[in-house]
Amino acid sequence: MMELLAKKFDMCRSRGDTIVALAILISSFYFLYLTFQLPIPKQGSTLDVGPRAFPMILLMGMIVLSAVIIVQNIKAKRICELTETPHPRNFWIGVAFLFLYAYLLDIVGFVVLTPIATYLFMYAIGVRSKKILIGGTLILWLVLTVTFPMLMEVQLPRGVWIFREISYFFY
């Protein structure tokens, strides 16, 4: 099956893909180990998944997918030469956004900062459609706001001053 896809789409694997997948695999196992040290929810509630359910699901998915990439790369007949990234500036903009987001999260809070950061990040990486920018931002924000604080009862940063009061309006 992969050979057919490789011929059709002229896919090839690079050594960099394997190295990144291996790094993700190793770090995922480490963080999965740390996740098992998080507290277990109180007995009697079958619906309360607790603070370790989502990280465990996410990390197990990362382990499986990175292992698949490694196996596919080992089986690949053709290895690509590393090429220069067409727009390396976008990568560094993304990294800067993540650091800025992490810094501002405790100050501004999740409810206010996440839609602004999502919109700006999507715009910075090249999304120009207003429907996708606004719709994608709102859908992501609603899913995250409903999933974490309401369904999983995970406390998200509320921010300080007026931002804290705004977050109380939503959950």
- Using the predicted structure, report yes or no on whether residue 167 has a pLDDT greater than 90: no
- The whole-number average pLDDT for the span 128-137 is 91
Q: Structure tokens of 124?
A: 């910075």
pLDDT band at 41; cut points 50, 70, 90: low
Q: Which of 112, 129, 122, 119 is nearest to 168 (CA)?
A: 112
- Using the predicted structure, report yes or no on whether residue 3 has a pLDDT greater than 70: no
